[in-house]
Amino acid sequence: MGPVLEVRNLTKRFGGLTAVAGLDFELREGEILGLIGPNGAGKTTIFNIVAGVFGADAGEIRFAGEPILGLPPHEIARRGIMRTFQHNRPFGGMPVLENVLVGAHTRFRFNPFSRKSSLEETERRRRAEELVAFVGLGELRDADVGTLSFGQGRLLEIARALAGEPRAILFDEPAAGLTPAELDRLAAIVRGIASRGIAVLLIEHDMRFLLPLASRVVVLNFGARIAEGTPQEVRLQRAVMDAYLGDAAAQ
Amino acid sequence: MRLAAWIGVFAALAALPFFLGSYHNDVYRKMLLWITLALGYNFLFGICGQVAFSHFAFYGIGAYSVVILLFQVNLPLPIAIVLGIVICVLLALAVAIPATRLEGFYLALVTLALAQLFIVVLNEGGAVTGGTGGIANYRLPPILGWRIAGPAYTVVIVALLAATLAVLWRLDRSWFGRACRAVRDNPEAAAAMGVDVARTKVIVFTLTSALAGVAGMVYAFVDNTVNPPIFGLDNAFLILFMVIVGGAGRHAGAAIGAILLFLLPFWLAPLVGHHHQLVFGALVLAAILVQPKGLVGLWDRFSR
């Protein structure tokens, strides 16, 4: 099966600094690809280019065979790539379920004045309720988002992204700020998402969280790929240890 | 059942003018128009988060357009109405498209400039706008041979209010209204969910401006005169105050704010004369500082 997302020769410069240098990687259906690297390795820049927030200086990104580099974020979402934010960004004026329904925005087909619009709304609401339950916020579906804990806010981000019925989902450091119990729950949810056939790209800092979870890992340093493989393979490479993993992960 | 209740409410609103004298009928009509304007402005400001000061100018643009097209250009009423709406839509697009491409305050500034420019154009418009004196002494042309006047015209205003509310209610309860709230709460996240932020803003600005224009067309035959002072900036700010005091983002809030701030001067006049603006200022300040959800927010808190 061909890749869902292909990144070829991606290059991004900020003034004199090359943040991403001729990067290649691909993401396949149902896999969990981890993009790791030390601070400043270009992880967030790559994430933002794929999500349409930044442009690039060179290279190509194809999604489902179509070039998507340079499209604005809403077009990227419309094509089936949804994302979460590292710092939770809920819609503060709406309860949990409504937040998730915003994620389904691109799935609505009928104009608000048509007769079918109400049926569609009911159907989407039902699916959104399922997703809220899937991430474990079922009890809180009518709660004000301001009352959620940080970890619950992260789960809301995930449910909201899933509501768009994406083919690929991008997680921006999802483990950041979570408690150990929340990390376990998050790992189970990410596995559940991949098992639905959705391609998962994880940008992550936390090795203990990522290595057991990822099917494949791309290691970055100074915006370039220095290693790629299964977590087992990557863990043993000298360059990776030098660049990033250090003593803790090599143990 | 809920629909039946709404029909009942609007039937009562439509029946009321037949029991009012001409003075109270006039007050009632203007209150209904203010509610209509506040509902539209609430969608723009309270639901979509756009700060604009042109809402009342579009009310004036609608009023002047229909009067000029009817009595200076001598077009038939249906064509004058349609052309008036086209004028409002084109002007709104001309303002919104460049303004939403810029960040932050630009829409506020551009619309403030539009509101000012509108008054200048009215004053300097010579025979077309009637200059400082405006245009007066016209009558609504007969519709299918029937000259609508008195309480019957108040029913037209009730219908306008009902139609405006129906449109905004339907939009608000759909994916579109949710997208508007998402744009207001967090534009970057909204875009990541597939919402075209600029397009949503332009649509809402254009729609609510056109609704204000239609309300202005109806207003043109309330006093049967249009002149520059009516459409001054005081009223642009008054709409904003109504929505904030009543509760931004809620239809009920906009309606309550409009009723309260419209009627308040009538009660305050014997007490403080023309200084009611001071009371308004204090109310707005109190709402922003103490009760950001406005009067409906207060109602929610005590009814729970």
Same domain, A173 and A247: yes
Same domain, A99 and A220: no
Report the SS3 class of residue B261. helix
Same domain, A37 and A146: no
Q: Is residue A185 part of a domain?
A: no
- Which residue from A82, A89, A93 is facing B181, i.e. has the nearest CB? A93
Chain-centroid distance, C-alpha A225: 19
Strands A58-63 and A66-67: antiparallel
- Chain B residues within 8 A of A113 when measuring between CB atoms: 170
Q: Is residue A100 part of a domain?
A: yes
> Stretch B123-131: mean pLDDT, rounded?
92
Residue carrying structure tokens 């890992």: A217
Distance from the Cα of A235 to chain B's closest Cα (Å) equals: 33
- Report ipTM for this prediction: 0.92
- Chain A residues within 8 A of B174 when measuring between CB atoms: 108, 112, 117, 121
pLDDT confidence of B273, banded at 50, 70, 90? confident
How many whole angstroms separate alpha carbon A83 and alpha carbon A168? Answer: 9
Report the SS3 class of residue B73. coil
* Sequence-ordered list of residues with C-beta below 8 angstroms from that of B128, at least 6 positions apart, any chain: B68, B72
Phi and psi at residue B292, to the nearest 5°: -60, -20
pLDDT confidence of B103, banded at 50, 70, 90? low
Is B193 near chain A, with CB under 8 Å? Answer: yes
> Stretch B273-288: mean pLDDT, rounded?
81
Is A103 near chain B, with CB under 8 Å? Answer: yes
Same domain, A71 and A108: no
Residue carrying structure tokens 């043993």: A236
Same domain, A125 and A23: no
Q: Is residue A194 part of a domain?
A: no
- Domain extents in chain B: 2-231
Q: Is A229 left (phi over 0), alpha (psi -120 to 50) or beta?
A: left
Residue carrying structure tokens 């927010």: B297
The amino acid at residue B149 is A
Distance from the Cα of A179 to chain B's closest Cα (Å) equals: 24
Same domain, A58 and A175: yes
Q: Is residue A145 part of a domain?
A: yes
- Chain A residues within 8 A of B249 when measuring between CB atoms: 93
Q: Is residue A99 part of a domain?
A: yes
* Structural domain containing residue A113: 88-165
Same domain, A66 and A96: no
Same domain, A24 and A132: no
| pLDDT tens-digit series, residues A156-209 | 999 999 999 999 999 999 999 999 999 999 999 999 999 999 999 999 888 889
Full-model pTM: 0.93
Chain B residue whose CA is closest to A163: B193
Name which of A48, A68, A74, A82 to mutate to probe chain B: the one with the most chain B Cβ atoms within 10 A of its Cβ.
A74
CATH number at residue A1: 3.40.50.300
Q: Is residue A40 part of a domain?
A: yes
Name residues 60-79 of chain A within 8 A of B (Cβ): 72-74, 77-78
Domain count, chain A: 2
- Which residue from A112, A121, A160 is facing B193, i.e. has the nearest CB? A160
Q: Which two three-digit tokens encode residue A180?
A: 């150990």
Q: What single DSSP character describes residue A135?
A: T
Q: What percentage of chain A has pLDDT greater than the value 70?
A: 95
Same domain, A76 and A113: no
| pLDDT tens-digit series, residues B246-256 | 999 999 999 99
Using alpha carbons only, what angle is made at residue B43 by residues B38 and B46, rounded to the nearest 5 degrees?
A: 90
8 Å CB contact of A103 and B175: no
Q: Which two three-digit tokens encode residue A140?
A: 């809180």
Read out DSSP for B19-53? Answer: GS-HHHHHHHHHHHHHHHHHHHHIIIIIIT----S
